[in-house]
Chain A
Amino acid sequence: DAGVTQSPTHLIKTRGQQVTLRCSPKSGHDTVSWYQQALGQGPQFIFQYYEEEERQRGNFPDRFSGHQFPNYSSELNVNALLLGDSALYLCASSLVSARQGNEQFFGPGTRLTVL
């Protein structure tokens, strides 16, 4: 049973560029959430996708956008990159109809460095 996978593992970009990160949820899961984890901090919620729509959004600017595909995989897009966007980007999947609440399973993350 494959867990949550993310690609790429590492990415280096320059200020002003755009980046796309990808996530495949755990088998059987239908909901994908994205988090940003800056160095030395806890993950911060960016947004969540369910049924190909953004269902919730954290306190992140519109430069951060996403998409969910019919196979439940997801992309995170960041435009006009800033130095402060350097972080570990985590994808988490869950099953919205799970009986036992909303446990989320996390992927290994994509390390984004903006120069």
Chain B
Amino acid sequence: AQSVSQHNHHVILSEAASLELGCNYSYGGTVNLFWYVQYPGQHLQLLLKYFSGDPLVKGIKGFEAEFIKSKFSFNLRKPSVQWSDTAEYFCAVTPAHYGQNFVFGPGTRLSVLP
């Protein structure tokens, strides 16, 4: 069975600090990878996704993630966080076949101090 782990439960940063959130998955086949964000009181929104090709993918709001197949990792990064990045971040994996369900990680809560 697939599983996703996220390294940190809660991360606290000051504005302008750099961010890296870890994500590792277990699955033997080809996968699609996603990072979703859930702002307080809002629904899940897609930050970025990896299907194939360049393992460094760029998403919205200055976020990027790198897929390292040998490490089964898909870490999320942002060079300089803002107070508005305060949210819950979820990594998700799905087999690269049409119509497959997502397996989510437990989430990392990011608090950015002004």
Contacts and interface: CB of A to CB of B under 8 A. Distances in A.
Interface of A: 31, 33, 35, 40-45, 48, 50, 55-56, 58, 90, 92, 94, 96-98, 100-109
30 contacts: A33-B102, A35-B104, A41-B107, A42-B4, A42-B90, A42-B104, A42-B105, A42-B106, A43-B44, A43-B90, A45-B101, A45-B102, A45-B103, A48-B99, A48-B101, A55-B99, A58-B101, A90-B43, A90-B44, A96-B98, A96-B99, A98-B98, A102-B97, A102-B100, A103-B32, A103-B49, A104-B102, A107-B43, A108-B43, A109-B43
Shortest 9 CB-CB distances between A and B: which pairs?
A42-B104, A106-B44, A108-B43, A96-B99, A45-B101, A101-B32, A101-B51, A43-B104, A42-B106
A58 B107 CA distance: 19
